[in-house]
């Protein structure tokens, strides 16, 4: 069974004036149908305002469809009796780590989720330890979150979600506020969750270089899914991506320009090694 499935999902934000008359409607997600299999690493790309966050909020029952249906591990998000099951199945990590950390001490913060779920105390500590180790933050367990870098805080947020033992984690631009070092730390931690822990990952980003290892990429524009495919399939379409106001990874762009200048380089180069190999064959 799919871990995440949406069928014809449409969501409208409705603006009203003081008299409660409808002033305007924004269709933020427009007829989106997608399926995610357990264990997949999915990336969702899109320019600002393309509907990524609105879609993400449906996967955690923060928002409900205006039309269509969302199932998380088979549970319809509109079914109130399944709300906590859904939130435990699909954890969310947001952009700003400062809004997600509430504890005074790292290990206490990570324990909040399982504590709220009613997990027995002994097991909470086991989960906290295990989660902090997975994201490489165990040695900071006694630290105050205020003293951590952005990348470290974001990894603590991820540990907090992980401690709830979700099957799926949705990360909404988790690196947008981080410096390059922090970005790499977080992306490596996310890859580990998928590779080692086999957790389904849905990573929303507009950094193309974060998604080269994804199993599948969806590109959103104006609420629609505009493109869908493997990273290589997506990055083969440089012009289309530019139309959608997205950048391609530097190495992909360089390969594309060299190809335009007449060098026999294949489309969809994703890594420096691939470009090096292709260039060797040009001689």
**Interacting residues toward Mg ion by CB under 5 A:** 52-53
Q: Report the residue number, 203 or 270, with the smaller CB distance to ligand ADP.
A: 203
**Which of Mg ion, ligand ADP, none is residue 50 near (CB under 5 to 8 Å by kind)?**
ligand ADP
Nearest approach in angstroms of CB 223 to ligand ADP is 7
**Which of Mg ion, ligand ADP, none is residue 236 near (CB under 5 to 8 Å by kind)?**
none
Among residues 13, 64, 188, 273, the one that binds ligand ADP under rule CB under 6 A:
13
Q: For ligand ADP, how many residues bind (rule: CB under 6 A)? A: 11
d(Cα 205, Cα 159) in Å, to the nearest integer?
19
d(Cα 88, Cα 75) in Å, to the nearest integer?
12
The closest residue (CB) to Mg ion is 53
Q: Report the residue number, 5 or 52, with the smaller CB distance to ligand ADP.
A: 52
Composition of the chain by helix, strand, coil, percent to 5: 40, 25, 35
Q: Report the residue number, 61 or 132, with the smaller CB distance to Mg ion.
A: 61
Residues numbered 203 to 242 that lie near ligand ADP (CB under 6 A) are: none
d(Cα 202, Cα 174) in Å, to the nearest integer?
11
Tell me 15's DSSP state.
Answer: E
Q: Report the residue number, 53 or 157, with the smaller CB distance to Mg ion.
A: 53
6 contributes a contact to ligand ADP by CB under 6 A: no
Residue 56 host element (H or E): helix 52-58
Residues numbered 29 to 68 that lie near ligand ADP (CB under 6 A) are: 46, 48-54
Q: What is the 3-state secondary structure (H, E, C) of 158-173?
A: HHHHHCCCCCEEEEEC
Residues numbered 110 to 169 that lie near ligand ADP (CB under 6 A) are: none
Interface ranges with ligand ADP (CB under 6 A): 13, 26, 28, 46, 48-54
């Amino acid at each position: 069974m799919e871990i995440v499935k949406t069928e014809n999902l449409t969501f409208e934000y409705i603006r009203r004036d003081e008299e409660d008359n409808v002033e305007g409607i924004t269709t933020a997600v427009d007829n989106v149908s997608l399926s995610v299999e357990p264990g997949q690493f999915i990336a969702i790309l899109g320019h600002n305002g393309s509907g990524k966050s609105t879609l993400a909020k449906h996967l955690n029952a923060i928002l409900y469809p205006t039309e269509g249906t969302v199932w998380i591990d088979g549970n319809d998000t509109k079914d109130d009796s399944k709300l906590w099951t859904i939130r435990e199945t699909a954890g969310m990590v947001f952009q700003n780590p400062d809004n997600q950390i509430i504890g005074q001490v790292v290990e206490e913060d990570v324990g909040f989720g399982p504590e709220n779920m009613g997990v027995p105390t002994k097991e909470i500590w086991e989960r906290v330890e295990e989660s902090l180790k997975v994201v490489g933050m165990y040695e900071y367990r006694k630290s105050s979150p205020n003293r951590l870098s952005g990348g470290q805080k974001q990894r603590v947020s991820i540990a907090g979600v992980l401690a709830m033992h979700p099957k799926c984690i949705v990360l909404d631009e988790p690196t947008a506020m981080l410096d390059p070092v922090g970005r790499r730390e977080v992306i490596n931690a996310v890859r580990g969750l998928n590779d080692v822990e086999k957790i389904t990952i849905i990573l929303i980003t507009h950094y193309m270089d974060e998604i080269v290892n994804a199993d599948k990429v969806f590109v959103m524009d104006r609420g629609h899914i505009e493109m869908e495919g493997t990273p290589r399939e997506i990055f083969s379409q440089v012009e289309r991506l530019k139309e959608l106001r997205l950048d391609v990874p530097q190495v992909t762009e360089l390969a594309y320009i060299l190809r335009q200048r007449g060098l026999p380089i294949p489309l969809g180069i994703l890594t420096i090694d691939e470009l090096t190999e292709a260039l060797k064959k040009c001689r």
